Amino acid sequence: MKSQAHILNGDALKDRFPSEIPGKVHVMRECMVDGPVNPGGDQDLFSLRADFLQKSYQIDPSEYVSKTVHEIERISAIGESTDINLWFEEDLFCQVNFWYTISLLQANKYQNALFFVPPKSDFPYSFANMHPFDLISAYHHRIPIKEEEQEALGTLWKAYQNKDLDQMHNIAGIYHLKYPFLESAVEAFEASLPTAESPGRPTEVILDIIRKHETTDFGTVFKHFCREVPIYGYGDLQVRKLLDEITTHTVPS
């Protein structure tokens, strides 16, 4: 039997990953949905991300390198004759990381077999609600990602980097039957982009929560945000940043 490697969507899943599932575990500790992702200029992607995370979340660049970049390098170095299982949820946060990971693996010199391991259909945005036996079952029902699908998903990452919405919608439409969640993720991304008429859907939702509940309390806002737009998959850091932008009047109400 081939050796197994697992790329998880976060440390929360790693902490409860069943020991019965064979293979080495890696964690994608990025949040590519938040902040700049187009290298451009003289900065490579990791340098760009390190600058953004330091300015936005006070994450020390050395911590980013040790916890995130080094782990990505280990993912890139997964050897041949290894099945790679990608454990990602269906929300935009996870999907962008999923597309990036596929693109990363495509640059690997080995042609590994890739498999998508999604959460249960009744919990599409959360592995957290799954019992260990559910996670084991998910592994045994993993979905092979065909070579042409790998190519398309890698292209989806590049289209995301360039905000090429037409190409993103086209890819999501082509693979709708096998990966129906792609369309929802692409639509959520498009709605998140600021326009002349809107600061973007996530900010609109937070503004509406503030008006409706007459509070800027973070706990209240975060709870309602996660209930109303789970498709974004934002964590507390992303929602708090948007709330701070609103309360410091950097976003029009």
* Buried-state track 168-188, b at ≥16 Cβ within 10 A, e below 16: bbbbbeebeeebebbbbbbbb
Tell me what pLDDT residue 154 has. Answer: 95
CATH entry 3.40.1360.10 includes domain 3-185: yes
Q: How far apart are CA 243 and CA 246, in angstroms?
A: 5
pLDDT digits (tens, 9 = 90+) for 88-126: 999 999 999 999 999 999 988 778 999 999 998 888 888
Determine the average pLDDT of the residues in 36-59: 90
Given a cut of 80, is residue 22 above it in pLDDT? yes
Tell me what pLDDT residue 250 has. Answer: 53
* DSSP-assigned beta bridge partners for residue 86: 7, 116
Tell me what pLDDT residue 124 has. Answer: 80
What percentage of the chain has pLDDT greater than the value 90? 87
**What is the signed CA dihedral for 207, 241, 226, 85, rounded to 10 degrees?**
150
Provide the mean pLDDT of the chain: 94
Given a cut of 70, is residue 252 above it in pLDDT? no
Determine the average pLDDT of the residues in 54-61: 97
Domain ranges of the chain: 3-185, 201-247
Determine the average pLDDT of the residues in 124-140: 93
CA 189 to centroid of chain Cα atoms? 12
Tell me what pLDDT residue 253 has. Answer: 46
What percentage of the chain has pLDDT greater than the value 70? 97
Q: How far apart are CA 86 and CA 102, in angstroms?
A: 9
95 against 249, higher pLDDT = 95
Q: How far apart are CA 95 and CA 92, in angstroms?
A: 5
